[in-house]
Amino acid sequence: MNQEKLANMLAQLKDISEIMIDLSYSALICGSEEIAERVMEMEETMDKLHIEFELAVVGLGVTRPAKGLLGLIRLAMAAEQIADAATVLANIVKRGLKTHPVLQMAMQEAEETIVTAEIADDSVLGGKSLGDLGLEDDIGMRIIVVRREQEWSYNPKDSFVLASGDLIIAKGYVEGREKLLSLARPILNNNQ
């Protein structure tokens, strides 16, 4: 395996663990079982990627000094530990434990929120790139994760094209939440 592929895998481990901790705190503060469930799904992806990365690093042992390889393994392990901590927080939500009233009060004062939505067949979001949609500029929401079937895309680039059936997780201003939901699921929201 080449160094570029290893660097990409390590960057993915870092990105996934960061998003997981962000989402798990949001799930805890909002009491959102839906977001907690997404964290649990990401943990499965994280575990697989972590093992794949460590095996790739061990495979370099013949051609590289062991001391440098140990550093790579330790960095990956730190990302895995962060992901595990995020899962612990998500499990609190999944077990139905209530957040402290102070956390609930703080959330009511917050200007930011996290929302999940599935792109409906008739959504205007389907078939368009994130850059073309300009959601962050228009409604103050940034898509931070997309799951297409079993594949997760973290911090997708502007060139990423959304498709019907994609699950999106977005972060942004509270005011943009309902607008994003109506864009993603126009029929569902119009029938409410």
> Does pTM surpass 0.75?
no
Superfamily of domain 111-190 in the CATH hierarchy? Regulator of K+ conductance, C-terminal domain (3.30.70.1450)
Confidence of residue 188 (pLDDT cuts 50, 70, 90): very low
The contacts of residue 63 (CB under 8 Å, 6+ apart) are: none
Cα 129 to the center of its chain, rounded Å: 18
Residue with tokens 């929120």: 113
Per-residue pLDDT tens digits for 171-181 = 898 889 999 99
Per-residue pLDDT tens digits for 97-132 = 777 777 767 766 667 788 889 999 999 999 999 999
- In the structure encoding, which two tokens stand for residue 146, read together? 């997309």
Euclidean distance between CA atoms 84 and 90, whole angstroms? 10
What local confidence, expressed as pLDDT, does residue 191 receive? 40
Euclidean distance between CA atoms 141 and 14, whole angstroms? 22
CATH topology of domain 3-94: Methane Monooxygenase Hydroxylase; Chain G, domain 1 (1.20.58)
Burial (CB count <10 Å: 0-12, 13-18, 19+), residue 29: buried
What local confidence, expressed as pLDDT, does residue 190 receive? 40
Per-residue pLDDT tens digits for 50-82 = 999 999 888 876 666 777 788 889 999 999 999
Annotated domain spans of the chain: 3-94, 111-190
